[in-house]
Chain A
């Protein structure tokens, strides 16, 4: 408990990142990243690699900065006026926060899925090909091909292939979320950012999404925020435990869930704290 108490008191602590994680091939590396909402610091000098082709889970109690970190990766926090940052992140060697960077091009290299399914008020087909549409793609066969590919990728094709023209809002919650995943992978991103994608879904829909994440692993590098410890242990390869804006421990999921190096992590994982 000392570390957590120290964090709560505002002291800096050393993050524990396992060697297995450090030695892997990162698609995204976060380097000394700090973020402020106005004067209030929300992230404290976080350094972590996101391994290529693997699933990295961010866990931690509410308000620990998981979502903020995730939303920093594709610079969604730019939409909030008072945000300022220090440090940097590198996506395949390119600095995400360099001044001359085209944010729109950056976002096209990532897919993001939100907590609540947010299909657009248009047809299923148009929902999926939206990223291509905004790039000005008009070729019908290309669009159709991408649509089918993405929907198959999101394990939704068989359910909707006969009603691509219907509103995306006519689907059930779980289907809507898979539609959002299909949309996220339509532009063939390097990283997939999932922000508690199952928190608004029932257990059956959740298990479908989890199966889907298993399937997508390898083709995409996935960064997922979750509150559900079982989910993290089931689907992720690496797990990072955060607390009050600081990274506490990060390691291979099997290690983190069976014999973490820190007692604080074990307490949180087992539910004794948090």
Chain B
């Protein structure tokens, strides 16, 4: 005994105790945590930082250019012999000095948001530190940032305003005032445009009713419709006598067609009159909009000549040099102007020339120390309509609190605003709303299906190989790539069912039977259904008698029921009379395309396995003793399920259901195929009748991330938006999951038991 003990001590292995496994398992755990934290931290930082207003800087380059932009970050990069050739001569000399004999060296570059896209053709710029003429950039205090409806951000110095400014206010306040006014005008213009759309719809509806008559009578009214519309162009108002003037045009058609055409004529005349009126109003408003504009000076250089001035004279003098005056074409006499020069680099100056009460004119001097001359560059001028400005700030003048205010304002716009510029700027409200509405409809579809199916499988179905096979299949279905569901949804829901709703069996790709065949089939399946009903009625009556032939009878009735169901489907797809609910709109599809309804159905299908599995698990967790207790009280099967099983399983069911919602809300791949589009202002649920628009395409947050990041023309500009949208989606999914946890805890508490 003692011998064996000693031997085992002699062979003592650390691994036998399992101690090293702590390091392995703990290490893996730490790595997993680290990865999750990295992902979250990255998204959180990028998402939160995007909308924060940064300082705007100007930095002079060795080769005489000017780099300007919102400073985003300093990045390291590898400076090698290869990328020397991209640099100008002076920068290259500097870089060669830095490289020495080495083939490559790590250097830094600044990442700037340049804006001014229509002039610079880029949104962002990398500025290598080796090319900079100065380490200290200039932060011009009176630079403005205009966030616009089109073309993105514009940075520049204000120069002239097209309207008179009250001298008591600052120019910025004046622009803000003007923005409010133009906003009112824009509002009225939008209302007028909506009115125009409404008129278009009226006309389209009138044409649609003619088309419906055409379809029902199988006649061709195309020509006469055009004639009626042409004749209506000559009318000015609707009056009782007009009918006589239209009679020669429409005399060859039926009474119904006549009515529809006359209705069309009246609508066309009214619409035409109102259109003229609204277009006049629009033109006036447009003029007002055009009358408010600002001329901005952008930090983009245009050489305009050279003057002889020394560096010292430039920095010490407070007055404008005489020679400069004709070059710039300034108004008034030179002595009216004061001059301030700010050094950007040793030989580069930003010079502001200002006459009292007006905005300063900026020029850029590049002095030559050898000859005491300076090359003068003007800043490029660019006119901006006030109506185009969404937000105006002076980034370099903002205090921390001011920046916080801008930040909050931008977030508000992001969450509740409409998208601008193909979704790159502005808000994602339609995407948030679309995601929410789609997820809600999905839950309404998936909930009854999932719970009832799980109830049948767990409470009613007799166990056996078939049930096991079905259960395994459902579990596997949860692992099918979601794009597969997208393809299925597109072909089945959109094209088949949607096509069927739009234009009947023909549009859905089926060949209808001749009427005689179809009615014979109808009779046949009616008989089959009748037999099935009789058989199942008989077996139900004698359910207690457990005889052999009864079992075959019930099997037979089951098969006949299935045959009847198949028959109904066949009758539906082969029906010759049905031509769809939206035939008149064809070839424009109504439901026969990706839309909200089919997206919700596809996602419901995708989350069905999750709901079924979760519900089944929740039902399996209901103690059998409760069911027995209920049966012993004389409760029936459904009473037991309804009163005991379902309430007990509810927390589990709801948890699974919310997890399914979270999965559905984050799903992108099927959305690309069945209804999400990158940009629309139409909401799927709004105040317009019939409120819920199942046939509309919609914006979806997950799809938005994909479309912006990888499909938009300018994905670099969209990158910040991608991160912000990602953060938002993560937040929504996290909130849903937290709700699930909270709900489960709350419901559990109600059933908490104090056992002995």
Residues A183 and B751 in contact, CB atoms below 8 Å apart: no
Q: Which of B643, B753, B754 contacts A133 (CB 8 A)?
A: B643
Residues A79 and B631 in contact, CB atoms below 8 Å apart: yes
Which A residues, 82 to 127, have Cβ-Cβ distances below 8 Å to chain B? 99-100, 104-105, 107-108, 110-112, 114, 116, 118, 120-122
**Residue interface bits A123-142, CB-to-B below 8 A is 1, else 0:** 00000001101110000000
Which B residues, 710 to 754, have Cβ-Cβ distances below 8 Å to chain A? 750-754
**Which of B's residues lie within 8 Å of A, judged by CB?**
462, 544-545, 623, 625-626, 628-636, 639, 643-644, 647-648, 750-756
Number of residues in A with C-beta < 8 Å to the partner? Answer: 37
Q: Which residues of B contact A120 (CB under 8 A)?
A: 626, 629-630, 643-644
Q: How far is the CA of A110 from the CA of B752 in the complex (A)?
A: 29
Closest B-chain residue to A126, C-beta based? B643
Known: A118-B629, A121-B644, A183-B633. A100 touches B544 (CB 8 A): yes
A173 contacts B by Cβ under 8 Å: yes
Q: Which residues of A contact B635 (CB under 8 A)?
A: 104, 130-131, 134
Closest B-chain residue to A122, C-beta based? B647
Residues B631 and A167 in contact, CB atoms below 8 Å apart: no
Query: 27 interchain pairs (CB within 8 A)?
Result: A79-B631, A105-B634, A107-B632, A114-B625, A114-B629, A118-B626, A118-B629, A120-B630, A120-B643, A120-B644, A121-B626, A122-B647, A130-B633, A131-B635, A134-B633, A134-B634, A134-B639, A167-B750, A167-B751, A169-B751, A169-B753, A170-B752, A183-B633, A184-B632, A184-B633, A200-B756, A202-B756
**Min CB–CB distance B19 → chain A (angstroms):** 42
Q: Which of A131, A170, A171 contacts B634 (CB 8 A)?
A: A131
Q: Which residues of A contact B643 (CB under 8 A)?
A: 120, 130, 133-134
Q: Which residues of B contact A105 (CB under 8 A)?
A: 634
Closest A-chain residue to B542, C-beta based? A99
Q: How far is the CA of A200 from the CA of B544 in the complex (A)?
A: 37
Residues B639 and A118 in contact, CB atoms below 8 Å apart: no
Closest B-chain residue to A81, C-beta based? B462
A56 contacts B by Cβ under 8 Å: no
A74 contacts B by Cβ under 8 Å: yes
**Min CB–CB distance B422 → chain A (angstroms):** 54
Q: Which residues of A contact B634 (CB under 8 A)?
A: 104-105, 107-108, 131, 134-135, 187
Q: How far is the CA of A246 from the CA of B527 in the complex (A)?
A: 55
Select the residue from A76, A169, A171, A184 with max chain B CB neighbours within 10 A. Answer: A169
Known: A76-B632, A130-B633. A121 touches B750 (CB 8 A): yes
Q: Which residues of A contact B647 (CB under 8 A)?
A: 121-122
Residues B623 and A118 in contact, CB atoms below 8 Å apart: yes
A172 contacts B by Cβ under 8 Å: yes
**Min CB–CB distance A160 → chain B (angstroms):** 14
A180 contacts B by Cβ under 8 Å: yes
**Which of A's residues lie within 8 Å of B, judged by CB?**
74, 76, 79, 81, 99-100, 104-105, 107-108, 110-112, 114, 116, 118, 120-122, 130-131, 133-135, 167, 169-173, 180, 183-184, 187, 193, 200, 202
Residues B756 and A173 in contact, CB atoms below 8 Å apart: yes
Closest B-chain residue to A183, C-beta based? B633
Known: A167-B751, A187-B633. A121 touches B545 (CB 8 A): no
Select the residue from B628, B629, B632 with max chain A CB neighbours within 10 A. Answer: B632
**Min CB–CB distance A63 → chain B (angstroms):** 20
Q: Which residues of A contact B644 (CB under 8 A)?
A: 120-121
Residues A130 and B754 in contact, CB atoms below 8 Å apart: no
Q: How far is the CA of A239 from the CA of B52 in the complex (A)?
A: 86
Residues A170 and B754 in contact, CB atoms below 8 Å apart: yes
Q: How far is the CA of A107 from the CA of B635 in the complex (A)?
A: 8
Q: Which residues of B contact A167 (CB under 8 A)?
A: 750-752
Residues A172 and B629 in contact, CB atoms below 8 Å apart: no
Q: Which of A107, A108, A121, A134 contacts B751 (CB 8 A)?
A: A121
Q: Which residues of B contact A184 (CB under 8 A)?
A: 632-633
Closest A-chain residue to B750, C-beta based? A167
Q: How far is the CA of A192 from the CA of B610 in the complex (A)?
A: 44
